[in-house]
């Protein structure tokens, strides 16, 4: 069972360390264990309980009332969901549920929570308001848990399936529509943002040629020589040195000067686009939508 110091518990749940200590002392909500040097630490079970508590708080429940609930009653209250007047507070609840499902590899519950969010706010807003904040919390787990990459792969696999299924459900684009070549450069593996971009581009009626992760440069050249897309879009997310990135982007920009090159991902890419006339930097999803 993984353990978490109180500062990591704060980042994971969104509850301030000071508040956690008050809840421990006043209500006995969770009982931390202590190291030999008297430092608090918490386990997966306590993390899940605290996430349940924050979910009920997002529903408008008072902490004093939550403290009176047994473990079984706490779980039942979470499953009941928010009242109709509090649906706007479901976002935090859905994020918390996804974290809990990831920690326990509960695929059925993960699917149900994702589907409930889509039913509540639609696919696009689920990605923006629930999935991306969830992935930020996963980033916290990467920093504190040696098994977190495995948990992230579990959750990412489900999200990837959802993105591909949603894209497949879209209407076929008009044959005369503009085409976008989508890929991740060599040694780039984080595909969710690219899959989401693929969904957005297809949803606006454009065509896409989707190549996926870790695509060698020479393959991009071959595709462009064969189909001549109007645009190419790719992401940099990993810790690749900036000099290497600049050289790669220059290479993509020179494949065909008539192809508009769109780059996204790391926020330190902005200076690169000012040096190349056919390169545009997209800082976020809204910038992609404006471009489309």
Residue 24 pLDDT exceeds 80: yes
Same domain, 100 and 219: no
Backbone angles phi, psi at 53, to 5 degrees: -65, -45
Q: Do 260 and 120 have their domain in common?
A: no
> How large is the average pLDDT for residues 53-77?
81
Write the pLDDT tens digit of every residue in 127-148. Answer: 998 998 888 777 655 444 434 5
Residues 83-109 have pLDDT tens digits of 444 445 678 888 888 988 888 889 999
142 and 9: one domain? yes
Q: Which two tokens stand for residue 202?
A: 């297809």
* Domain count along the chain: 2
Residues 107 and 154 in one domain: yes
What is the token pair recorded at 212? 């996926």
- Give the H/E segment covering residue 282: strand 279-282
Asked if residue 273 has pLDDT above 70, the reply is: no
**146 and 209 housed in the same domain:** no
Structural domain of 273: 172-291
Q: Listing from the earlier edge strand, what are the strands of the sheet with 207-215?
A: 207-215, 179-185, 231-236, 260-265, 279-282
Residues 160 and 188 in one domain: no
Are the C-beta atoms of 208 and 198 separated by less than 8 Å? yes
CA separation for the pair 202, 192 (Å, rounded): 15
Query: Which is nearest to 74 in space by CA: 86, 65, 83, 85?
Result: 65
Q: Tell me, yes or no, whether 39 and 115 share the same domain.
A: yes
Of the candidates 167, 192, 219, which is a domain's last residue?
167
Average pLDDT across the chain, whole number: 84
Radius of gyration of the chain (CA): 22
212 by DSSP, 3-state: which?
strand
CATH number of the domain where residue 106 is located: 1.10.1660.10
Least Cα distance to 151 among 163, 159, 142 occurs for: 142
pTM of the predicted model as reported, rounded to 2 decimal places:
0.70
27 and 77: one domain? yes
Q: Is the pLDDT of residue 177 over 50?
A: yes
- Structural domain ending residue among the three candidates 141, 167, 193: 167
Do 29 and 160 fall within a single domain? yes
Mean per-residue pLDDT, 209-223: 95
Same domain, 93 and 191: no
Q: Cα(178)–Cα(230) distance, rounded to whole angstroms?
A: 6
Do 37 and 163 fall within a single domain? yes
Last residue of a domain, one of 148, 167, 186: 167
CA diameter of the chain: 69
Q: In a 3-state reduction of DSSP, which class is residue 5?
A: strand
Q: What is the pLDDT of residue 84?
A: 44
pLDDT of residue 81: 59
DSSP helix, strand, coil percent of the chain (3-state; round to 5): 60, 15, 25
Contact 180, 227 (CB under 8 A): no
Handedness of CA 141, 147, 152, 158 (dihedral sign): negative
Could you tell me if 162 and 240 lie in one domain? no
- CATH number, domain of 191, equals 3.40.50.280
Which residue would you say has higher pLDDT here, 179 or 5? 179
């Amino acid at each position: 069972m993984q353990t978490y110091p109180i500062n990591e518990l704060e980042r994971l749940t969104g509850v301030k360390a000071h508040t956690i200590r008050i809840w421990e002392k006043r209500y006995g909500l969770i009982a931390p264990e202590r190291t030999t040097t008297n430092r608090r630490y918490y386990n997966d079970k306590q993390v899940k309980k605290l996430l349940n508590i924050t979910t009920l708080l997002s529903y408008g429940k008072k902490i004093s009332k939550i403290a009176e609930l047994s473990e079984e009653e706490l779980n039942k209250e979470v499953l009941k969901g928010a009242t109709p007047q509090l649906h706007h507070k479901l976002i935090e609840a859905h994020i918390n549920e996804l974290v809990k499902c990831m920690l326990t590899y509960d695929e059925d519950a993960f699917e149900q929570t994702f589907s409930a969010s889509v039913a509540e706010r639609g696919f696009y807003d689920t990605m923006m308001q629930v999935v991306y904040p969830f992935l930020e919390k996963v980033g916290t787990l990467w920093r504190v848990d040696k098994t977190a990459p495995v948990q992230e792969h579990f959750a990412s696999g489900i999200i990837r399936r959802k993105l591909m299924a949603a894209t497949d459900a879209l209407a076929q684009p008009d044959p005369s529509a503009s085409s976008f070549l989508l890929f991740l450069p060599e040694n780039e593996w984080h595909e969710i943002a690219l899959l989401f971009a693929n969904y957005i581009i297809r949803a606006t009626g454009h065509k896409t040629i989707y190549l996926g992760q870790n695509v060698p440069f020479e393959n991009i050249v071959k595709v462009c020589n064969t189909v001549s897309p109007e645009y190419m879009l790719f992401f940099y997310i990993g810790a690749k040195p900036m000099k290497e990135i600049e050289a790669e982007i220059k290479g993509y920009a020179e494949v065909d000067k008539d192809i508009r090159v769109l780059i996204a991902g790391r926020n330190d890419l902005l200076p690169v686009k000012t040096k190349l006339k056919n390169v545009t930097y997209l800082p976020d999803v809204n910038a992609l939508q404006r471009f489309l």
